[in-house]
A = this chain, B = another copy of it.
Amino acid sequence: MALIVQKYGGSSVVDAERIKSVARRVAATRDEGNRVVVVVSAMGDTTDELVNLAYQITEQPSERELDVLLSTGEIVSSTLLAMVLKSMGYDAISLTGAQAGIRTDATYSRARILKVESKRVVKELEKGNIVIVAGFQGITEEMDITTLGRGGSDTTAVALAASLGAEVCQIYTDVEGVYTANPRLVPEAQQLPEIGYEEMLELASYGAKVMHPRAVELGELFNIPILVASSFTDNPGTLIYGGASMEVRNKVRSIVYDLDVAKIMVVGVPDRPGIAAALFEPLAKANISVDTIVQNASINNITDLTFTVAKSDLDKAMEVVEPLARSIGARECVSDSKLSKVNIIGTGMQNTPGYAARMFGTLSEQGINIQLITTSEIRITCIIDEARVKDAVRALHRAFELDTEG
């Protein structure tokens, strides 16, 4: 009997009707003879509502308390799903993250899973239960409740799949799968039947909202095949697995973009050792993720340092950087928040020349100025004016012949 872990996101359990519909999917999987573990997110906007409630109380809610508060959202939906399944005649039981043995570190609001003590889940499966686990949450060694941050429920699902040795982890969401580009932007975008972990990781990290990179990374680490599919349709979805990466395609797989990009330039910095550390350590301490970092070649021992942060972090980052820039003798500090990232991603690009040139050429033909460039082995990223992102994605989708992916 195969073990399948399924995860249903917030839009899939938004109300009683949707929860019943999810229950029918779960029941069908069970009827096919599988053992089933289900991870659920909080219903619809519950998490946002709980956050609002906290902010009605205080402008700076304690992170520990906020985590306990938010964890209730997933507990509610897990119990409701278990109730429907039981009322349909299936054996089912809900478990909180703590009960399911999701052990995390104590970094509230973005805890990392340390291990899954799956004894209880295994026991309930052996009893014949469909096990519904509240996603997004765990418990520390001190028995304090934590939440896993963005992509938390996906991570719960993949971690459970890994610890239980599941055949597949199915992530049900409100999109049909992974596409060659955002279909809302590019009507010709094609759905990919499969994709490798590394490609998916780059996609998820660079703008595809389908899945959180943490969960993909975990899937890769434990070699758990992950199916991303819609809970609203019968579209077969996209399977993320190692095998898909092995097959080298001389192709770009997908164009993704990210509008959440702001740039800070520290101009006229004396180029001496320790300058980068002096800037980026305080930013890390202020809990600001710095993304792309570019340092121009030094001229007369004077250089420019440019880096990007999330738009929401820009003000906080400037507060940290401006005094530092003065203290290290930089000339000035400028920022730009009207930016976006456009990325082409595909293992097919590995060791194959010409992709970068074609990307830059395509953007140039569109009259789009490239502000920063970064690359990985399977990704090329250009930072451009956010107003031109649609044109850029469409032109690249055509240029890399993704309209015909089948």
Contacts and interface: CB of A to CB of B under 8 A. Distances in A.
A96 B82 CA distance: 22
A22 to B, nearest CB: 11
Contact of A83 (B66, B76, B82, B143): B66
Q: 10 tightest A-B contacts by CB?
A: A58-B87, A72-B72, A16-B56, A69-B79, A65-B79, A68-B79, A61-B83, A62-B86, A65-B82, A65-B83
A327 interface: no
B68 A75 contact: yes
Interface string A67-88: 0110110011011101110110
Given A54-B80, A68-B96, 18 more contacts: A16-B56, A20-B57, A53-B80, A54-B83, A58-B84, A61-B87, A62-B83, A62-B87, A65-B80, A65-B82, A65-B83, A65-B86, A65-B93, A68-B78, A69-B76, A72-B76, A96-B145, A98-B143
Contacts of A78: 68
Number of copies: 2
A164 interface: no
Nearest to A99: B143
A23 to B, nearest CB: 9
Contact of A76 (B50, B59, B64, B144): B50
A71 B78 CA distance: 13
A369 to B, nearest CB: 46
B76 A75 contact: no
Contacts of A82: 62, 65
Interface in A77-111: 78-80, 82-84, 86-87, 93-94, 96, 98-99
A69 to B, nearest CB: 4
Interface of A: 16, 19-20, 50, 53-54, 56-62, 64-66, 68-69, 71-72, 75-76, 78-80, 82-84, 86-87, 93-94, 96, 98-99, 120, 143-145
Contacts of A144: 99
Contacts of A69: 75-76, 79-80, 83
Nearest to A81: B57
Nearest to A93: B64
Contacts of A56: 16
Contacts of A98: 98, 143
Nearest to A86: B62
